[in-house]
Structure 1
Amino acid sequence: MQWQWENATAGAIAGFTTVAALHPLDVVRTRFQVNDGRLTRFPLYTNTANALYTIARTEGLRGLYSGFFPAVLGSSLSWGLYFFFYSRAKHRYQKDTGEQLGPGLHLASAAEAGTLTDASRTIFRDEGWRALYKGLGPGLLLVSHGAIQFTAYEEARKFVIKSRNKQCNDGNIHGDEVLTSADYVAMGAFSKIFAALSTYPYQVIRARVQQRPNSEGVPKYRDSYHALTETLRFEGIRGLYKGIVPNLLRNVPASSITFLVYENVLKFFK
């Protein structure tokens, strides 16, 4: 059981480090996502660099780190829970099969971890049942994002270990011992790009559904389907990928940092 809490602790430290380093890009991503070009109350930015500069100039450091404390708390809790549930699921499947896990069981482990983490976070929310379930549909679909990312990471990990062992031909080096920090960075980046390109439209729809109602209390979108059809009607496919550049600029290095810190903290515990 101790190794499961080591996974949770390493995940929580990784989540904290990632948000602390890259939160301004998360702020920019969110502002791009909710701006559909038909609202005047949101400032318009030409690109990610312009957005960062404008926010820093007009709102200062407080603007760039808007919502930092709930974000860093949520990230630390989420990654701690995710790695805890993920390691438990992998251990259970490995115990049942007695063999090295393939992509199917890695996918199942990550999906299970994502579902349990989502459920745990939901329990802690206190905004009432309407706010609780708003955007839940695309939120649950986003569980597939983590499942895809972790499966890609595990498969890349197996590939690198296998290739490195063939090159080394050293019987005394095996498993994680052949992996370096550069490997964790590269595998983290690869897995995030693969997952992001697959699931990004869900994030846009969820962000738009969760926008606050206007001054009359009328929500802009009735539900996820309405948000999807309106986005396609006015903006086309490009609208579903609005803000993907700041998303990748933030989340690709974030993924690299997360796995780099997680793997090295875990090695330290071991």
Structure 2
Amino acid sequence: MCHLYGAGGTAGMSVDLILFPLDTIKTRLQSPQGFSKSGGFRGIYAGVPSTAVGSFPNAAAFFVTYETVKRLLRPASSPYLSPLTHMAAASLGEVVACLIRVPSEVIKQRAQVSPSSSTYQMLASTLRQEGVRGLYRGYKSTVLREIPFSLVQFPLWEFLKDLWSWKQSRPLDSWQSAVCGAFAGGFAAAVTTPLDVAKTRIMLAKVGSTTANGNVLLALSDVWRTNGITGLFAGIVPRMTAISLGGFIFLGAYDKVRSLLM
């Protein structure tokens, strides 16, 4: 189990820190304040301490859960049910990982759209105004974003790896696993962008507003009403770019580190 924790955590931290500027741009494009008022291209590393602290345990928690559930379900399932096994494992992995990810994400996103405030100031302000519950604002919307994302990404990643391995009649190299991860991640990012927009709006909403209550459908309808289809897919280019590159680094590094540690 330790090798899974190390592999997942190392891969996750590498991705989050390398691609942080793209994440900042995506968040500001989705912000209700608009890109320029949220900081534009200034201070694109605002909020990075929150990511640095939460990234390793978040990714490690996901992969420990993912691999454990896969191992428990696989003996009882036929090869034809393999995609369902991957979906169930990924979904449970996200539920567990979000317990760590959401507080980190809340502070990170608030710092990203207020680059003049430090991460510590955002944490103190959130705790003062909303208490610990404020750190988990958007938990439901994050899970509702991550589960569909994982239901697309991980079965597609596993399928592409199996297909490529079958075509060449040998196990994949780490770079080949990374290519499969890039394609799977980019596709999953594109189709789940509206859910990401809703999650961002909920986390950034003013205390006491209707959006802050965490209703995903209400947040989506508000975006649709004010910004239309372009609002629902705000930030899709940096999101797809970041997650495609992230899928390449994250899943490639995970396979590589796991093979070394095993």
**TM-score tier after normalising by the smaller chain length:** 0.7 to 0.9
Q: Output aligned runs, 1:118-133, within 5 Å.
A: 118-119=98-99, 121=101, 128=131, 130-133=133-136
Contact 2:98–2:139 at 8 Å: present in 1 too? Answer: no
User: Rg bigger for which structure?
Assistant: 1
Q: What do residues 61-98 of structure 1 show as CA deviations (whole Å, max 9, x unaligned)?
A: xx121111211222211111111011101111123337
Structure 2 length-normalised TM: 0.80
Instruction: Tell me the CA shift for residue 256 of structure 1.
Output: 0.6
Instruction: Tell me the CA shift for residue 136 of structure 1.
Output: 3.2
1:225 matched to 2:183: no
Q: Output aligned runs, 1:72-221, within 5 Å.
A: 72-97=52-77, 102-119=82-99, 121=101, 128=131, 130-142=133-145, 143-165=147-169, 174=170, 178-213=171-206, 219=209, 221=211
Instruction: Tell me the CA shift for residue 243 of structure 1.
Output: 0.7
Identical-pair percentage: 26
Contact 1:12–1:75 at 8 Å: present in 2 too? Answer: yes
In structure 2, what is the equivalent of residue 249 of structure 1?
241
Could you tell me how far apart the structure 1 residues matched to 2:225 and 2:164 are?
44
Distance 1:164 1:74, change over 3 A: same
Q: What do residues 93-114 of structure 1 show as CA deviations (whole Å, max 9, x unaligned)?
A: 1233375862111111111211
Give the aligned length: 236
Could you tell me which amino acid in structure 1 is paired with residue 209 of structure 2?
P
Pick the aligned partner of 1:29 from 7, 10, 26: 26
Pick the aligned partner of 2:48 from 51, 59, 68: 68
Distance 1:96 1:120, change over 3 A: farther
Distance 1:76 1:101, change over 3 A: farther
Instruction: Tell me the CA shift for residue 207 of structure 1.
Output: 0.6
Q: What do residues 145-202 of structure 1 show as CA deviations (whole Å, max 9, x unaligned)?
A: 123211111111111111111xxxxxxxx4xxx3123312211111112211221101
Q: What do residues 192-236 of structure 1 show as CA deviations (whole Å, max 9, x unaligned)?
A: 1221122110110111111142xxx65373543332222111211
